[in-house]
Amino acid sequence: MPPTLPDFSSSVKLKYVKLGYQYLVNHILTLTLIPVMAGILVEVLRLGPKEIVNLWNSLHFDLVQILCSSFLIIFIATVYFMSKPRSIYLVDYACYKPPVTCRVPFATFMEHSRLILSNNPKSVEFQMRILERSGLGEETCLPPAIHYIPPTPTMEAARGEAEIVIFSAMDSLFKKTGLKPKDIDILIVNCSLFSPTPSLSAMVINKYKLRSNIKSFNLSGMGCSAGLISIDLARDLLQVHPNSNAVVVSTEIITPNYYKGNERAMLLPNCLFRMGGAAILLSNRRSERWRAKYRLVHVVRTHKGADDKAYRCVFEEEDKEGKVGISLSKDLMAIAGEALKSNITTIGPLVLPASEQLLFLLTLIGRKIFNPKWKPYIPDFKQAFEHFCIHAGGRAVIDELQKNLQLSAEHVEASRMALHRFGNTSSSSLWYEMSYIEAKGRMKRGDRIWQIAFGSGFKCNSAVWKCNRTIKTPTDGPWADCIDRYPVHIPEVVKL
């Protein structure tokens, strides 16, 4: 409600007024149609059958007119059905579960940090402070090459990590969906920081012996939001190619990107990024309608790269000693907020119920005409979605979004727990969060899910899914052995 009356917002009476208003506006069509139909029915009953037959005869329909009208109706119907965009179904997805032997507890991370950065105690202190407040748990995993003192990030080790992560996820996907490698028509792999030649998509094609006429794409350099960019690309391709399967693989390869220097702004990714990956099967086949888990409703992409500050916000560069690292600027949160606002402005009209849109419009008009001092109305997205998957980029991102969208702790629980258990797995984090919600048995048919991801550039991408069938627990997946321990309370600062 507009904050001109803040004292009454907790009042019960106002809540019911709000509910009544929402019901009225959201169902306005039904509410106007019912009296009209009732009126017609009463009129028909009053007239009686003889009168209706007389009315019909007076219209003087002949065969030609009837045929033309029916052809017209059929033609319009055909054009409508042909031009309707194909429904894109998410049949199933699989997340990579790292082996327990890759686990990195806090104590080990800090000890290695101290040994490697022995000349820079200040940097070590900084890393410790970050880790204490990061929201990560003791079970996050790093690839084997990073466990060495000092780390040994060779190209071979990077390829090894890519193979383990991607092939495990794909094997799991094949098992879950019964998909045969020869049936993959479109393959999209996204991995931002590791881009070898031949590409990772070529690696997948080689391993699984995919068809020679496959449409493969490899997206690199697009940051943590590349997962949703890949979904968008798959959707566009599936509009063009009928009856096809698309496999999207989202991952981030940690091995080659461990920052070896001691510039503070660049040490942050070392503390937060962890091993992870996901493989998703999308399809536009009608036969998949019955077993698909979700249907893709919208994808909205927002790019703030035109603004210089946003462009330099997450920047890969060399530090003073020539060591390459990703530098995060101090106004990352502010820029993320701006990007989110932009994205919400676009997605709002697509998903919000009429009641919220009307309120937003009225407040907007009010601000423009009556009083610019009115605070802009933040639509209540909780009415548009049942579940939220916020990219687990860090605790600060989740806190910021929770505040901006006025979400409750339960809404952001999936994001926080995924960050705790798996760390920041970049583009695949959204899928770990989705898996969490499923594992908790909260995913019911008809639920709408909003996935939001931020990435370098600066980009904010959203995807809206609708649950196609209720997902029963227990589910297999990365949470299978630990879901009973969650949710877990994550203290503000973990004492190390």
Partner 1 sequence: MAEGTVTHIGKRSVVSSRWHAEPGKFCHLSVLDRLMEQNQVKIVYYYPSRGDHAEPGEWIKKLRDSLSCVLTNFPILTGRLHKNQEGHWMVKCNDGGVRMVEAKVKGSVEDWLKSVDREKELKLLYWEEMFHKPYHWPAVYVQVTEFEKGGLAIGLSCCHLLADPICATMFSKAWADTTLSGIMSTPPLFHSLPLTKADYSKIPNDESCTDLINYYKYSIERLTPLTTNQKYATVTLSFTDSMVRDCIAMAQATGASGKSGSPAFEALAALFWVCLSKVKATKGRLFNMSLCLDMRNCLGLDPGFFGNCMVCNKVHLESAGETMLPEATKAISEVVKKMNAEGIKDLIQWLKCNDNQTVPLMNDYDLICVNLEGVNPYLATFKDQLEPLQVSYYVEPMVGPGQVLISRSAPGEGPLSRVVMATLPEDEVAKLCEDDLIQRFSPAVLMGTNKN
State the nearest-atom distance from the C-beta of 421 to partner 1, in Å: 11
- Smallest distance from partner 1 to CB 485, Å: 8
CB atoms inside a 10 Å sphere around CB 244: 19
Query: Which H or E run includes 466?
Result: strand 459-467
Cβ atoms of residues 381 and 352 within 8 Å: yes
**Do the Cβ atoms of 89 and 292 come closer than 8 Å?**
yes
Give φ, ψ of 14 to 5 degrees: -65, -35
Q: What is the residue type of 69?
A: S
Which residues, in sequence order, are bridge partners of residue 448? 466
| Run of H or E including 297 | strand 294-303
Rule CB under 8 A: is residue 111 a binding residue for partner 1? yes
367-406 mask for partner 1 (x: CB under 8 A)?
----------------------------------------
Instruction: Confirm or reject binding of residue 27 to partner 1 (CB under 8 A).
Output: no
Binding part of the chain for partner 1, among 135-143, 191-199, 231-239, 360-368 by CB under 8 A, reads 135-143
303: annotated active-site residue: yes
The distance of Cα 29 from the centroid of its chain, to the nearest Å, equals: 32
**Of 424, 460, 461, 468, which one is the catalytic site residue?**
424
Rounded Cα distance between 317 and 322, Å, is 9
- For partner 1, the binding residue among 1, 21, 130, 139 (CB under 8 A) is 139
- Among residues 32 and 108, whose Cβ is nearest to partner 1? 108
Task: Determine phi and psi for 216, rounding to 5 degrees.
Answer: -110, 145
- CA-based nearest residue to 140, from 388, 399, 417, 413: 417
Find the shortest distance in angstroms from Cβ 389 to partner 1. Answer: 25
Q: Does 490 bind partner 1 (CB under 8 A)?
A: no
Q: Is 119 a binder of partner 1 (CB under 8 A)? A: no
CA distance 117 to 111: 10
Among 18, 86, 114, 301, binds partner 1 (CB under 8 A): 114
367 neighbors 374 (Cβ within 8 angstroms): yes
| Of the residues 36, 59, 100, 409, which one makes contact with partner 1 according to CB under 8 A | 100
How far apart are CB 106 and partner 1 at their closest, in Å? 8
Q: Which of 2, 3, 105, 446 binds partner 1 (CB under 8 A)?
A: 105
| 115 belongs to the binding site for partner 1 (CB under 8 A) | yes
Q: For this structure, is 387 an active site residue?
A: yes
Of residues 151-170, those binding partner 1 (CB under 8 A): 152
* Helix intervals (H) in 8-61: 12-26, 28-47, 49-58
User: Following CA atoms 98, 102, 107, 111 in sequence, which dihedral angle do they give, to the nearest 10 degrees?
Assistant: -140
Is the N-terminal amide bond of 487 cis, ω within 30° of 0? yes
**CB nearer partner 1, residue 111 or residue 331:** 111
Whole-angstrom distance, CA of residue 105 vs CA of residue 99: 14
Which CB atom, from 303 or from 420, has the smaller least distance to partner 1? 420
> Looking at beta carbons only, is 330 or 495 nearer to partner 1?
495
Which run of H or of E encompasses 351? helix 332-351
Rounded-to-integer distance, Cα 161 and Cα 203, Å:
12
Of 108-116, 277-285, 292-300, 439-447: span binding partner 1 (CB under 8 A) = 108-116
Partners of residue 218 on adjacent β-strands: 189
DSSP strand pairing (294-303 vs 314-318): unpaired
Interface size with partner 1, residues (CB under 8 A):
22
List 191, 224, 313, 460, catalytic entry: 224
- 60: annotated active-site residue: no
Beta carbons within 8 Å of 86's beta carbon, 6+ residues apart: 238, 239, 242, 284
Judged by CB under 8 A, does residue 112 bind partner 1?
yes
The secondary structure of 369-429 as a DSSP string is II-TTSPPP---GGGT-SEEEE--S-HHHHHHHHHHTT--TTTTHHHHHHHHHH-B-GGGH
How near is the Cβ of 432 to partner 1 at its closest, in Å?
18
420 is catalytic: yes
| CB nearer partner 1, residue 141 or residue 248 | 141
Pick from 86, 133, 147, 312 the residue near partner 1 by CB under 8 A.
147
Catalytic residue flag (residue 489): no
Name the minimum Å distance from CB 410 to partner 1. 23
> Per rule CB under 8 A, is residue 108 in the interface with partner 1?
yes
Q: Which is nearer to partner 1, 384 or 482 (CB)?
A: 482
Catalytic residue among 120, 218, 391, 461: 391
Taking the complex as a whole, how short is the minimal distance between the CB of residue 159 and partner 1, in angstroms? Answer: 16
The nearer residue to partner 1, 134 or 201, going by C-beta atoms, is: 134
Catalytic residues: 224, 303, 387, 391, 420, 424
**Contact positions toward partner 1, by CB under 8 A?**
99-101, 103-108, 110-112, 114-115, 137-139, 147-149, 152, 495
